[in-house]
Amino acid sequence: MNKTEKVQFVIDTLERLYPETPIPLDHKDPYTLLIAVLMSAQSTDERVNKITPLLFERADNPYDMVQLTVDEIREIIKPVGLSPMKSKGIFGLSQILIEKHNGEVPQSFEALEELPAVGHKTASVVMAQAFNIPAFPVDTHIHRLMFRWNLSNGKSVAQTEKDAKRLFPKELWNKLHLQIIYYGREYSPARGWKLENDIITSAIGRKTVIEEYQKKKKK
């Protein structure tokens, strides 16, 4: 397969496996999604979904959030990890949303990335999932799979995002990034990976990745 055929194979396979792509983080609006995505850094969606109801019961909008102290926020979100940084970020961005954006989550990468604790990936998720603006958030699953599939060199998340945007049609980005995440979790995890279960990597995978897997299996 040439690269164009490989890209189409990925698109077709993912669409067959995941025709529906529900957003993994529970939320009700752009603000609660933003907070949930921020909390998900170096944590799991499952863990975040257990904690956000406790936080949102107290504050599900920036006006109520700034009525809490940073320490109160930290105590609630402690189970998701990195709570000192995340609690400061949640409180700080809520203040800025009130002061600069009338309490609303802005619909631009630039404005989102100016918020405390909001990096490019978080901004991309919010733009894609809250506002349906084309973006290609790259998490660890996408970074790993684009390398395994020989569609990116794996040197940086920024390069992986550039390659994904160059290779895949823009109208598919928002759905495709979720499909790849679902696929990575189910068929191509970082740990306990079995090439024989990985439909896409088996068909189009990087030669060195496959050879390395086969060497480990022989040991």
Angstrom distance (rounded) from CA 104 to CA 150: 40
Packing angle of the helix pair 140-148, 157-167 (nearest 10 deg): 70
Q: Which of 86, 121, 163, 198 is catalytic?
A: 121
Could you tell me if 194 and 148 are in contact, meaning their C-beta atoms sit under 8 angstroms apart?
A: no
Packing angle of the helix pair 173-187, 140-148 (nearest 10 deg): 80
The DSSP H or E segment spanning 13 is helix 3-17
Angstrom distance (rounded) from CA 59 to CA 7: 43
Q: Is 139 a catalytic residue?
A: yes
Q: Is 121 a catalytic residue?
A: yes
Neighbours of 132 (CB within 10 A): 9
Q: Which of 26, 139, 162, 175 is catalytic?
A: 139
| Catalytic residue ranges | 121, 139
